[in-house]
Structure 1
Amino acid sequence: MNHESFEVELRDRVAHVRLSRPDKRNSMNARFWAELPALVSELEQDGEARAIVLSSTGPHFSTGMDVSVFASKAADEGQANAGQRAARFHDTVIRLQRSFSCLEAARIPVLAAIQGGCVGAGVDLVTACDMRYATKDAYFTIYETNLAMTADVGTFPRICKLMPDGIVRELAYTGRPMGADEALQYGLVNKLYDSQEEMVESVLKIAASIASKAPMAVYGCKRMILHARDHTVADTLDYVALWNASYFQHAEVAEAMSAQAEKRPGNFVALPAVQAADDPLEIP
């Protein structure tokens, strides 16, 4: 599949996905919203990638929604009445939300490497990732308030689980930028770097370390962490017990122990390829 909005490189079981519209400050046009979920699905169906690093090009990570998306939607409205416009807008927002939720739903971890501005929908995007890393010149802005809008593509359901409530409210109500130091202080990012090159190199190494582990174990960790975020302790204890009862593999544990003792990479079973919607139904 060809991608207009992304560059993709797969090496050592890590998929490095780069936003590739630096001349437009990596703003998100209509193609972006269609390509991202298709790209993630493609990587999952292949099964070779065990981690994704999402980085960008140019001075800014992303300035959010491209104005062309708003222009195209306005042109499509035509003579639609208020009810029709509201229904269409609702459907569009749900589609946009799904474009980012695919990162959270992916079976493999997604690590974001952020430089410069991460604005509006850029914040929606990175909060859907598993971890975030940033350069010291990075900043984050819940910008929609400045445009008389309420952020609706995923920022609030996720950032409220990452940062203190009062800080989120301040950022949302004022629309002010939050610098990298503050983002680190409040837990939005894991670590800061002096340069984009240093950051990307480091994050790729972290992703490679993740990719060296048993894929099913990492997948289980991601599922449990997301479940714990949204459920009670009792619910999550029950869920992890059921998960391990279903997926625990003695052979994988033995291989991990042998690999550590012999100081070699583990030879683990890959995640099964995801069936595409148009594939013949396979029942194990």
Structure 2
Amino acid sequence: MNTLTCFTLTVTDHVAHLVLNRPEAMNTMHPQFWRELDAVLADLHRGSDARALVISSTGKHFSAGMALETFGGAITLDDRSPEGRAAVFDLLTDMQATFTRIEELRIPVIAAIHGGCIGGALDMVAAACIRYATRDAFFCIQEINIGMVADVGSLQRLPKLMPLGLLNELAYTGRRLPAERALECGLVTQLFDSHEALVAGAL
């Protein structure tokens, strides 16, 4: 077992299981999250004996999405100067590339989603091959609610997974998509009654 700051990674019977393990922070995606995820995916692609990857989570929600600190510290969201715009561009390009690693991984990826799958978390699971969820799960393109664009992959990948009209509604309103509706529209392919059953089914 490989324990990281934001994840736990195990490989059993050729199945890798990557678990988001910061439930106290609702598994938000802060700078360390991005560094660790990118490194784990690169390692799985290059040298693991895993033949499939399951991504699941801990706590009440799968993930509350992007942590605001991701945009703070060394990089400030400054669109008034060329340097600031370049820094924002580079940051978003790096995050997009990390989720593209999921999409282009040499092995199939199954996302096991419970509770809230919000903002950047929806970007992440949209890059997976298969999405399973618990019946209490919900999905939300959160960015519109804080005056941002969903720019880490949702608007590019979701049109291939669900009706465009429904996607437009979610992107413009920021409302929640319940698991049952996600199943009806094809975003997820199977629902489970509990988190334990979800993870077992995905594995």
Give me the whole-angstrom Cα distance separating, in 2, the residues matched to 1:101 and 1:139. Answer: 23
Relative to the length of structure 1, the TM-score reads 0.69
- Deviation at residue 47 of structure 1 after TM alignment: 3.3
Counterpart for residue 50 of structure 1: 51
The residue type paired with residue 41 of structure 1 is A
Contact kept? 2:75, 2:88, Cα under 8 Å: no
Residue 5 (structure 1) aligned with residue 6 (structure 2): yes
CA deviations 1:172-211 (Å, max 9, x no partner) are: 000001000010010000100000000100110xxxxxxx
Give me the whole-angstrom Cα distance separating, in 2, the residues matched to 1:170 and 1:81. Answer: 31
Percent identity over the alignment is 44
CA deviations 1:23-53 (Å, max 9, x no partner) are: 0000011011111121011122223000000
The residue type paired with residue 45 of structure 1 is R
Structure 1, unaligned stretches of length 5 or more?
205-284
The residue type paired with residue 90 of structure 1 is F
Give me the whole-angstrom Cα distance separating, in 1, the residues matched to 2:21 and 2:94. Answer: 22
- Map 1:1-284 onto structure 2 (within 5 A): 3-73=4-74, 82-204=81-203
**Higher strand content, 1 or 2:** 2
**Higher helix content, 1 or 2:** 1
The residue type paired with residue 27 of structure 1 is T
Contact kept? 2:92, 2:152, Cα under 8 Å: yes
The residue type paired with residue 25 of structure 1 is M
The residue type paired with residue 200 of structure 1 is V
Counterpart for residue 208 of structure 1: none
Structure 2, unaligned stretches of length 5 or more?
none
Q: What is the RMSD of the two structures over their aligned residues, measured on CA atoms?
A: 1.6
Give me the whole-angstrom Cα distance separating, in 2, the residues matched to 1:2 and 1:176. Answer: 35
Q: 1:2–1:8: structure 2 CA closer, same or farther, 3 Å change rule?
A: closer
- Deviation at residue 82 of structure 1 after TM alignment: 1.4
Relative to the length of structure 2, the TM-score reads 0.95
- Deviation at residue 70 of structure 1 after TM alignment: 2.3
4+ residue segments displaced more than 6 Å: none
User: How many pairs are equivalent?
Assistant: 202
